[in-house]
Structure 1
Amino acid sequence: MEQVAYSQEVIDLLVACDLPVSDLRDDSDVYFFGFHHESELWGVIGVEVCGDFGLLRSLAISAAHRSNRLGQKLVAFSEEWAARSHLKALYLLTTTADGFFERLGYEVLDRSDAPKAITQTPQFAGLCPASAVFMGKALGAN
């Protein structure tokens, strides 16, 4: 696992996994982490820094490399990075992976409980449908 630059390679993987990219750009507050094997990006995840909190987003695993716990490893790596960066909690929105994130310790939350910094992200404000499940997880003692 390593930090990766926002690049066409990342965009291609996100698009292949039907994840939004319209709000992403090189100079955003989204930090990407990925796993490469023989120069191929197998998986990626992003953490959008929103003050004291992070929005976990853009978890994408190439179709050929799913079911090998790579998603869990990317989430764990992101959580460790976020904790080292003194973020208090990670939040996310999902339409398909709430069971996966529950197994990793994320709790389903009411959208009204979201910190203001999270509600102001494009993902929260409209990119993700209102039907998306909002989840969160506290990070250590900050």
Structure 2
Amino acid sequence: MEQIAYSQEVRDLLVACDLPVADLLDNGDVCFFGFRQESELLGVIGVEVRGDYGLLRSLAISAAHRGNGLGQKLVRFSEEWATRFNLKALYLLTTTANGFFEKLGYEKLPRSKAPSAIIETQQFLSLCPDSSIFMGKGLGANQVLH
């Protein structure tokens, strides 16, 4: 795992996984982490930092490498990174992966419980449909979601 820059390679993987990319080119608040095998990018995840909180986004695993635990490793790596940077909680929006994230300790939350910093993101405001499930997980010693 390593921190990586947003690039055409990252964009191509996100697009292949049907994830939104419209706001990423100009969004310096998103830190990406990836896993490579030789020169191939197998998986990527992003954390959009918003004050004391992070929006977990853009978890994408290449089709040939799904089902081997790489997604869990990327999420854990992101959580450790966010904890080191003193973020209080990570949030996310998903239409298909709520079961995956529940197994990793994320809980479903009403959108009304989202911190204003998360509500103001493009992902929350317009990129993810209203039918998306909002989830969160407290980090660090406090394990606080709001």
Q: TM-score, normalised by structure 1?
A: 0.98
What does residue 95 of structure 2 align with?
A: 95
State, as a whole percentage, how many aligned pairs show the same letter.
Answer: 77
Q: Secondary structure at the match of 1:24?
A: coil
Check conservation: 1:6, 1:26, Cα contact below 8 A: no
For structure 1, the residue ranges without an aligned partner over 5 or more in a row are none
The superposition leaves residues 92-135 of structure 1 with CA deviations (integer Å, 9 ceiling, x where unpaired) of 00000000000000000000000000000000001000000000
1:136 maps onto 2:139 in alignment: no
Give the corresponding residue for 2:114: 114
The CA deviation at 1:28 is 1.5
- Give the secondary structure class of the aligned counterpart of 2:20: coil
> How many pairs were matched up?
142
- Match for residue 7 of structure 1? 7
* SS in structure 2 of the partner of residue 87 of structure 1: coil
- The CA deviation string for residues 73-101 of structure 1, in whole angstroms up to 9 with x for no partner, is 00000000000000000000000000000
- Tell me the equivalent position of 1:124: 124
CA positional deviation for 1:26: 5.4
Shift in Å, 1:141:
2.1
Using the size of structure 2 for normalisation, the TM-score is: 0.95
Alignment partners' CA distance in 2, 1:91 and 1:117: 11
Which AA in structure 2 matches 1:53? Y
Partner of 2:79: 79
Moved over 4 A (4+): none
Q: Is the 8 A contact 1:110 1:134 kept in 2?
A: yes
Distance in 2 (alpha carbons) for counterparts of 1:22 and 1:70: 25
1:24-63 alignment to 2 at 5 Å?
24-25=24-25, 28-63=28-63
Distance 1:117 1:15 in 2: 26
Using the TM superposition, name which of 21-30 and 55-64 deviates more. 21-30
* Counterpart residue type for residue 79 of structure 1: E
